[in-house]
Chains A and B, each alone.
Chain A
């Protein structure tokens, strides 16, 4: 009976929390890094212990008045002042924190992705026990706790369980603290357009398709795998600034772009259409081939219906391919 009541209360709290979060989102809009947590976006409420403490103080006040007992009243007032300062301390533990950066580390479904939040403390005293929390796909929260010393930065590292293939939006990060006395809970919401990608689990027993040979090509692409240096050329519209040769620019030689020559090599092409079976199984088979090929240092390409990833190698290519698999068809149903 009590358990049920508890569950209902819990559901209600959840509902109210969601509502408040939606309201805060409308109020605050999207955030843009770096974010300084200003006072006006920090919310604070007593914790359950805080409410219990308040009830205790009211009882003590009534008893003190009832017995006209000065010492009991003095004691009550002292503890009430203590609670008010506790509220202040809790609020200022969070207020003014700077969220410097947020990074994500994707992973295979069934594993944990990571959300890394870098917090900076420009205040003259440490910020202790800050908690970063995100709500997962099933509503279960993942959190990490971190303290930031004066003038320092620290990273909250949240392990987020990834259950289904596809994109897991992390639109709402909750930063909170109940330091130092646990009587109050101050929190804020960060709204950032970030997400984690859950790659399909690499599994499948089919043999990979055979290697095919192809000629090399000169392209202005980011250095990947074991391509060879091919020299600099003039910057042309449409080139990516990532390929701009900084040192040359710094030396006043104008905007130049680095180019690479990929050697003529063997590679494999993984085609979704070539694998029979259930879609998820086929994607998992492709993932398993990609992982194996990457491990062997091979070059490979990917073909998913009309999406084609040209043959290449290296970490970035691997991730590009796995991302394509993960997002195929908008993720797992």
Chain B
């Protein structure tokens, strides 16, 4: 295979690697086109398939295909801007480059495209398992660069691999130093666009069965690492979207701020914890019931103590939160709030409304009424299941009187309806309950399967009080996960991990490694840099310290590289013969300079021409030197004679 073919194939394979890395973020048709172009290029370059001869119409056809593909990308994304569309465009452009030509320069451009794809992949996914893949890709890129530059017989593929591998290994210390000390300028040079990730998890709506759907998934939602004590398992209510509007079937979150948050009195110990939230494409941020305050400036706590981000969570986000498990509000709920939180559609769920009226008449206070309803739930044979069957528009009636089956969402909906029907302010809260304790990492891992819904009821003198009707129907749910209670609902693969202790342990180790990666690498930022500087003994680190540390590392690294790459050139000191001749030339140069390519005898002849009276001596000297230098052997007496001759030579 000649050098050009090797360069072609190296660049094409690197591009293929890039396409595979962004495969999850680019439309499937783009990936297919990109990979097909690579296959075609590899086949033609290696000579397995003959390259078609260019025909007059080819250029036109090529232009048309280019326009069509760019148009297709624009149609697909409705824009050519942004990471996802840009990635797709890069893939398509790279594919066209592969079809079009095979010059050196095009290979170089292809490598550039592939590097951009690697960047796009890194921007989209920073998972731990991808780290070695990115490293391999860097190696491939360096090799391809070498092969494109010097694949023509100067470098073998193996040689290029070894060379670029060594080069990258030497570059690694600098990369780590830069990572640690290169000042992370906070701020956005251009706007981050919304991706198009499929939304998973809790939304701002809850219909019968919607929580159950989420609870089928085993994917992690967030991890929480507690600084001091771990709260009791039964108190791990992770508050998510708060829903206030009910149409008899679906609970929805109010779009606007309706009433002021009531002042809280916090009781008991404070729990401090660090949450690392996976991207959800939803604005909700989860916190332990009840969070004290908004943890960050770009996070908001609404009137109903709902924590939200600025926009949908598109990247892994983390925050430090403080919560109190027990709170109390002494003030009264505002009139507006009270009116708002007891609204019900009047013509829906008539049997439930009737039940509410009956039970409220039997109780003396709101507080007693809440207990009475809970008793009703406990004693009327309600069944906790992930598949409660079909429901009607009067979903609460169906749950309570017909099927008598439900998941947490059904019971929360029913309970809140009964409260509101009796004039007790109530709202539905969705979120997660519990979590898996990872003993290796010391954190709680909360999965989608922990999704839960409960209610909050306003009681004068207590404030908003959490009441979880599911806890009455299926008390074990507080202690254990959904899949422990309803194993038949588990998908097979989930069951494997869930039931096999060894696999479960391995999964926990892996999850812990991921968490470490997330905490210490992915989320390494300016603050972490300052922390690092403090650990290094600088009390009040600022930009300048970082700059100095960075410069210091750079200088040290450059010195190390220079040392490591230094070539040992055996420096030969000129020997006696050479030195004697050098002295002679210096003398003779006063007569005429020696030409660069002139041998000693020739030079002597020219000196002789210029100064005939010296010709004999100089010729003899040159001859003696030539014989010593180029002759078979040189005894020291002869060398001494040469030195004497040079010494006595008078110009």
Interface residues of A (CB under 8 A from B): 30-33, 49, 52-53, 56, 59-60, 62-82, 84-86, 88-89, 92, 95-96, 101-103, 122-125, 128-129, 147, 178-183, 192-194, 235, 237-242, 244, 246, 249-250, 255
A84–B172 CA distance with the chains assembled, in angstroms? 12
Q: Which residues of B contact A241 (CB under 8 A)?
A: 601-602, 604-605, 608, 615, 618-619, 622-623
Q: Which residues of B contact A33 (CB under 8 A)?
A: 596-597
Q: Which residues of A contact B478 (CB under 8 A)?
A: none
Which single member of A52, A53, A78, A240 contacts B608 (CB below 8 Å)? A240
Taking the nearest CB of chain B, how far is it from the CB of A246, in angstroms?
7
Assess the B608–A180 pair: CB atoms within 8 A.
no
Segment of B188-196, B200-208, B289-297, B467-475 in the binding face: B188-196
Residue of A nearest to B131 (CB): A71
Q: Can you pick out 12 interface pairs between chain A and chain B where the beta carbons lie within 8 Å of each other? A: A69-B122, A70-B521, A72-B119, A72-B123, A79-B138, A82-B168, A183-B145, A192-B597, A237-B613, A239-B619, A241-B604, A242-B602
Residue B568 is within 8 A (CB to CB) of chain A in the complex: yes
Residue of B nearest to A123 (CB): B567
Known: A193-B596, A194-B597, A240-B605. A88 touches B565 (CB 8 A): yes
Which single member of B160, B188, B612 contacts A66 (CB below 8 Å)? B188
A66–B138 CA distance with the chains assembled, in angstroms? 21
Q: Which residues of B contact A64 (CB under 8 A)?
A: 119, 122
Considering only residues 611-632 of chain B, those with a C-beta below 8 Å from chain A are 612-613, 615-616, 618-620, 622-623, 627
Residue B235 is within 8 A (CB to CB) of chain A in the complex: no
Assess the A56–B565 pair: CB atoms within 8 A.
no
Assess the A86–B569 pair: CB atoms within 8 A.
no
Assess the A194–B185 pair: CB atoms within 8 A.
no
Residue B198 is within 8 A (CB to CB) of chain A in the complex: no
Taking the nearest CB of chain A, how far is it from the CB of B644, in angstroms?
17
Residue B170 is within 8 A (CB to CB) of chain A in the complex: yes
Q: Which residues of A contact B178 (CB under 8 A)?
A: 73, 77, 80-81
Taking the nearest CB of chain A, how far is it from the CB of B325, in angstroms?
33
Assess the A68–B525 pair: CB atoms within 8 A.
yes
Taking the nearest CB of chain A, how far is it from the CB of B650, in angstroms?
16
Assess the A124–B568 pair: CB atoms within 8 A.
yes
Taking the nearest CB of chain B, how far is it from the CB of A150, in angstroms?
10
Assess the B612–A237 pair: CB atoms within 8 A.
yes
Which single member of A70, A79, A122 contacts B522 (CB below 8 Å)? A70
Assess the A250–B627 pair: CB atoms within 8 A.
yes
A101–B523 CA distance with the chains assembled, in angstroms? 60
Taking the nearest CB of chain B, how far is it from the CB of A144, in angstroms?
14
Residue B141 is within 8 A (CB to CB) of chain A in the complex: yes
Which single member of A77, A81, A193, A235 contacts B595 (CB below 8 Å)? A193
Q: Which residues of B contact A255 (CB under 8 A)?
A: 616, 619-620, 623
Residue of B nearest to A127 (CB): B567
A308–B154 CA distance with the chains assembled, in angstroms? 51
Known: A65-B184, A180-B146. A49 touches B108 (CB 8 A): yes
Q: Which residues of A contact B179 (CB under 8 A)?
A: 70, 73-74, 77
Q: Which residues of A contact B164 (CB under 8 A)?
A: 82, 181
Considering only residues 554-611 of chain B, those with a C-beta below 8 Å from chain A are 557-558, 561-562, 565, 567-570, 594-597, 601-602, 604-605, 608-609
Residue B62 is within 8 A (CB to CB) of chain A in the complex: no
Considering only residues 335-386 of chain B, those with a C-beta below 8 Å from chain A are none
Assess the A75–B119 pair: CB atoms within 8 A.
yes
Known: A56-B115, A85-B171, A102-B597. A79 touches B141 (CB 8 A): yes
Assess the A82–B623 pair: CB atoms within 8 A.
no
A249–B601 CA distance with the chains assembled, in angstroms? 14
Residue of A nearest to B612 (CB): A237
Interface string of B129-172 (1 = CB under 8 A from A): 01100100010011001101110001100001001100110111
A88–B557 CA distance with the chains assembled, in angstroms? 12
Max chain A CB contacts within 10 Å: which of B155, B192, B619?
B619
Assess the B182–A52 pair: CB atoms within 8 A.
no
Assess the A78–B168 pair: CB atoms within 8 A.
yes
Assess the B154–A75 pair: CB atoms within 8 A.
no
Assess the A237–B116 pair: CB atoms within 8 A.
no
Known: A56-B115, A85-B170, A122-B570. A71 touches B150 (CB 8 A): no
A75–B131 CA distance with the chains assembled, in angstroms? 10
Assess the B167–A129 pair: CB atoms within 8 A.
no
Assess the A180–B112 pair: CB atoms within 8 A.
no
Taking the nearest CB of chain B, how far is it from the CB of A310, in angstroms?
18
Considering only residues 488-533 of chain B, those with a C-beta below 8 Å from chain A are 521-525
Q: Which residues of B contact A95 (CB under 8 A)?
A: 567
Residue of B nearest to A129 (CB): B154
A-B pairs with CB below 8 Å: how many?
Answer: 211
Taking the nearest CB of chain A, how far is it from the CB of B616, in angstroms?
6
Assess the B134–A75 pair: CB atoms within 8 A.
yes
Interface residues of B (CB under 8 A from A): 108, 112, 115-116, 118-119, 122-123, 126, 130-131, 134, 138, 141-142, 145-146, 148-150, 154-155, 160, 163-164, 167-168, 170-175, 178-179, 182, 184-190, 192, 315, 521-525, 557-558, 561-562, 565, 567-570, 594-597, 601-602, 604-605, 608-609, 612-613, 615-616, 618-620, 622-623, 627
Which single member of A63, A192, A240, A244 contacts B623 (CB below 8 Å)? A244
Which single member of B148, B190, B594 contacts A182 (CB below 8 Å)? B148
A63–B117 CA distance with the chains assembled, in angstroms? 12
Which single member of B112, B126, B187, B616 contacts A69 (CB below 8 Å)? B126
Assess the A239–B167 pair: CB atoms within 8 A.
no
A129–B188 CA distance with the chains assembled, in angstroms? 44
A242–B609 CA distance with the chains assembled, in angstroms? 12
Q: Which residues of B contact A86 (CB under 8 A)?
A: 167
A204–B189 CA distance with the chains assembled, in angstroms? 76
Taking the nearest CB of chain B, how far is it from the CB of A237, in angstroms?
5
Q: Which residues of A contact B620 (CB under 8 A)?
A: 249, 255
Which single member of B174, B619, B627 contacts A81 (CB below 8 Å)? B174
Taking the nearest CB of chain A, how far is it from the CB of B327, in angstroms?
34
Assess the A181–B149 pair: CB atoms within 8 A.
yes
A304–B192 CA distance with the chains assembled, in angstroms? 83
Assess the A62–B189 pair: CB atoms within 8 A.
yes
Taking the nearest CB of chain A, how far is it from the CB of B579, in angstroms?
16
Assess the B565–A89 pair: CB atoms within 8 A.
yes
Q: Which residues of B contact A62 (CB under 8 A)?
A: 189
A282–B123 CA distance with the chains assembled, in angstroms? 76
A101–B597 CA distance with the chains assembled, in angstroms? 7
Assess the A88–B562 pair: CB atoms within 8 A.
yes
Max chain B CB contacts within 10 Å: which of A86, A124, A246?
A86
Max chain B CB contacts within 10 Å: which of A66, A125, A249?
A66
Residue of A nearest to B137 (CB): A75
A17–B167 CA distance with the chains assembled, in angstroms? 31
Known: A60-B115, A183-B145, A250-B627. A96 touches B569 (CB 8 A): yes
Assess the B615–A239 pair: CB atoms within 8 A.
yes
Ranked nearest first, the 6 interchain pairs of A and B with the lowest CB-CB distance are: A182-B149, A81-B171, A81-B174, A77-B178, A241-B619, A78-B175
Known: A75-B122, A75-B138. A242 touches B601 (CB 8 A): yes
A212–B646 CA distance with the chains assembled, in angstroms? 50
Assess the A63–B119 pair: CB atoms within 8 A.
yes
Taking the nearest CB of chain A, how far is it from the CB of B8, in angstroms?
15
Known: A65-B185, A75-B138, A193-B595. A85 touches B167 (CB 8 A): yes
Given A147-B154, A181-B142, 13 additional A-B pairs, CB 8 A = A60-B115, A64-B119, A71-B131, A71-B522, A79-B141, A81-B174, A81-B178, A85-B167, A86-B167, A123-B567, A124-B567, A128-B154, A235-B616
Assess the B623–A249 pair: CB atoms within 8 A.
yes
Taking the nearest CB of chain B, how far is it from the CB of A253, in angstroms?
13
A101–B596 CA distance with the chains assembled, in angstroms? 9
Residue of A nearest to B188 (CB): A66
Taking the nearest CB of chain B, how far is it from the CB of A51, in angstroms?
12
A101–B565 CA distance with the chains assembled, in angstroms? 28
Residue of A nearest to B557 (CB): A81
Q: Which residues of B contact A194 (CB under 8 A)?
A: 596-597
Residue of A nearest to B594 (CB): A32
Known: A65-B185, A237-B608, A250-B627. A125 touches B567 (CB 8 A): yes
